[in-house]
Structure 1
Amino acid sequence: MFTALLQNQIQKSLTGLPVSVTWRGERIAGNADARVTIHARDAKVLGILAKPTLGGLARAYVENWVDLQGSAQDILSLGQAYCGVDASQDAETRKDWRWWRHTRADDRRNINYHYDVSNDFYGLWLDSRRVYSCAYFAQGDESLDQAQEKKLDHICRKLMLRPGERLLDIGCGWGGLVLHAVERYGVKAVGITLSNDQHAYVQNLIQERGLQDRLEVRLMDYRDLPSNETFDKIASVGMFEHVGRKNLRLYFDKIYHLLNTGGLVMNHGITSVAVKSSGLGSDIAEFVDNYVFPGGELTHISNVLAELSQSGLEPLDAENLRPHYGKTLWQWVQRLEARQEQALEMIGERKYRIWRIYMAGSAFAFDHNWLALFQIVAGKPDSQGHLDYPYNRSHIYR
């Protein structure tokens, strides 16, 4: 029920901000020249508007309780000011009470929820290779396709791939990395995924390109890889966020046993910025868990390095690509918005809103140092502690 008290609370929260709110066609806060207008459509949202959180506003948008008028950048920037929160620092006391969720069945269901929406939907706004992870803008003015190709080369060079080596890609997506590594670097590769759609898509590409003797894709959980199968190099790109904090040691132990002595692994994934954080605050982590990535969990880079080291792997190189992911995500948002009508036909209004607000919110989080994106290269030393690795990074930047 809309009351004068609620209206006063909303007006107070918006003081000084170029934001207006309408209810039943009438403006109840702000002014006509606002950069963002919140059109309240359902009484459920009134309490959220009076005591806003970023996750609460995102939920209201997805559930169609509000319409948001304005650019995605303005919506996120003014939404953060409206809520008055630094989401990277607000989550340090969140408990790991859902540690039990990462069974094989749960993880498969969670992956299917996010990635099996529609191959064609992802094709609308990803690059031509459908690489669904942070691009690498070496100069800053590259197109999305160019930046994603440079990211693939960046990874392959960090792994020092050589012809004939065996490469494992854990969470291979639509096959961008394994196809690039096989065709450009001459390796033999195995990619694994839990997504039925991705598996079928990559299988078709392997057949079309005649790579059956050099590339294999499996519908498989990383925990089920045979213990007697080993690889010279291993990549994991945008996957370990699904592992779960309690399973990080198991994850790196598995990689250690799959990796040949002297081999390298490159782990590329999102980490929190707050050291003790288990997810973004202002109800963002809850929104992402409920609507976007069920079971996804973040941790600080220091915890990743600790678990990796305890598994026997030696950290060799760490690079934070945070600015690159913000730029990547804004390009995804712009491409999705430009193809809104096609997206709505494919997946409907609700899912379109989920992906739009999630990607815009993630771009904002990377831009404002709430999230980081680390690529970590590690190796498996021999029994004497020796690992053949260059003295400088010229093999990467050439």
Structure 2
Amino acid sequence: MVPITSVLERKLSDLQIPLAVEFPSGQRVGAADARVTLKLRDLSSLARIAAGQVGRVAEDHVEGRLDVDGTMRDVMLIAAQMIGADPVQAHSGAAPLRWWRDMIRMSRSKVRHRLHMDAEQIAFHYDVSDDFYALWLDPRRVYSCAYFADPAMTLAQAQEAKLDHVCRKLMLRPGERFLDIGAGWGALLLWAAEHYGVKAHGITLSKNQFNHVNRLIEERGLQGRVRMELRDYRELEEDEPYDKIASIGMFEHVGRAQLRPYFDKIWRLLRPGGLLMNHGITAGGTDNTQLGAGMGDFIERYIFPGGELLHVSHVLKVMSEAQLEPLDVENLRPHYARTLWAWSDSLEGQLDRAREITSDRVVRAYRLYLAGSAMSFERGWISLNQMLASRPSGDLAAGTMHGAQSDYPFNRRYIYESPR
């Protein structure tokens, strides 16, 4: 039997970025000029490092079983090499057992996405600490993919560009009723009201976000024009339809089992001819709900419990089955990689303050989550899609051309021409 230290030494010698492992005794293996050093507090992590189970190694770091000395960018370059196999394909499973796996997956999704469960899962992530998120987000606290319309943009500029990009795609007009499902810290809600004159309604399951946005509404004198509620989308009244609806970075929490009811609900909330922007993270592979090599399990345990990845093709299929017509799909995957690296770099520059606000355990988890997500978007393991859709009105004479049946002009020119 080959000693595990020999297996580890061979694996370390194959890496392009020099890595060393330091044992509790002080003994080291690996590169003398290591750019990253894994300092073990006990030996239980050795087998996981040798096997390339980066998700389990990340768990060991969060739980304090090993420390990481090196930049997050170097750590992720090493992690990508240690994984070896494609983590998208590696988690898809064998075709003959697919029906059984899909049944188990659907059953688990139904259990995980009941009303009270979703509320608990959202609180686990979003109510960590407003001050913690404020450390590394932009001033508007936009916690979703930015849009670098100009490569020279700062993160703050790119987030404003994203807010405007969404508003333009939705063709927001003064006086329209606009719903933001999962409104976060209110950036899109307030931008739409202040720049496009809509009557905006936002909902969230995070108490911290609910309180923050209502303070902003009062400070900016937007009472009567903007409303923020602590409410699940399934509980929204359907008596007066909305002209436009946005769901930004929210449907990842909906779950496979609830995706059709989610789009059915949006169809009922949207007026005939109205537009929907469904923006969110999608799977890089057509058949995986999370990443392999233990990365998906790490995210489930420490960051987003209940989160499920779905391929854009599956989302569009279910959207269409709910009688919402897909109009335009834009892939912003590399934009999210750049966004996440900006968040990661910002957090890295304020680690001591972050630990004071939360805890060392939370900071360890988020350092790996932000940098690991950036790596995953760069490599196409996960993606980000904006899906614009409408509820066709059935009126062939409505719209800019015969048969349009919606506000959409069936060309993209309007998206890139500023309405202001």
Contact 2:275 2:407 in 1 (8 A): no
Percent identity between matched residues is 50
Question: Aligned partner of 1:98: which letter?
Answer: R
CA distance in 2, matches of 1:121, 1:83: 30
Instruction: Report deviation, 1:384.
Output: 4.3
CA distance in 2, matches of 1:188, 1:27: 64
Question: Aligned partner of 1:85: which letter?
Answer: A
| 3-state DSSP of counterpart to 1:299 | coil
Question: Aligned partner of 2:341: which letter?
Answer: W
Matched residue, 1:50: 50
Instruction: Report deviation, 1:229.
Output: 3.2
Instruction: Report deviation, 1:158.
Output: 0.3
| 3-state DSSP of counterpart to 2:168 | helix
Matched residue, 1:307: 318
Matched residue, 1:179: 190
Matched residue, 2:96: none
| 3-state DSSP of counterpart to 2:239 | coil
Equivalent of 2:301 in 278, 290, 303 = 290
* Aligned-CA RMSD value: 1.4
Instruction: Report deviation, 1:25.
Output: 4.8
Counterparts of 1:257-272 in structure 2, within 5 Å, are 257-272=268-283
Instruction: Report deviation, 1:14.
Output: 1.6
Equivalent of 2:154 in 143, 157, 173 = 143
| 3-state DSSP of counterpart to 2:327 | strand
Scaled by the length of structure 2, the TM-score of the pair is 0.92
Question: Aligned partner of 2:297: which letter?
Answer: E
Q: Deviations over 1:205-264 (max 9, x none)?
A: 011111111000000000000121310000000000000011110000000000001100
1:377 aligns with 2:375: no
Equivalent of 1:122 in 120, 133, 151 = 133
Contact 2:336 2:384 in 1 (8 A): yes
CA distance in 1, matches of 2:229, 2:394: 32
Matched residue, 2:338: 327
Counterparts of 1:212-251 in structure 2, within 5 Å, are 212-251=223-262
Counterparts of 1:27-176 in structure 2, within 5 Å, are 27-93=27-93, 96=105, 98-99=108-109, 100-176=111-187
| 3-state DSSP of counterpart to 1:14 | helix
Scaled by the length of structure 1, the TM-score of the pair is 0.97
Contact 2:24 2:42 in 1 (8 A): no
Q: Deviations over 1:344-387 (max 9, x none)?
A: 00001000011110010000000001011000000011124622
CA distance in 2, matches of 1:393, 1:204: 36
Q: Deviations over 1:277-330 (max 9, x none)?
A: 111111111111111100000110000000000000110000000000000000
1:20 aligns with 2:20: yes
Matched residue, 2:7: 9
1:346 aligns with 2:357: yes
CA distance in 1, matches of 2:115, 2:32: 52
Q: Deviations over 1:63-104 (max 9, x none)?
A: 111111111111011112123232122111265152211011
Unaligned runs of 5+ in 2: 94-100, 397-404
Contact 1:20 1:27 in 2 (8 A): no
CA distance in 1, matches of 2:140, 2:48: 40
Unaligned runs of 5+ in 1: none
Instruction: Report deviation, 1:24.
Output: 1.8
> Which stretch of structure 1 is more off in the superposition, 45-54 or 176-185?
45-54
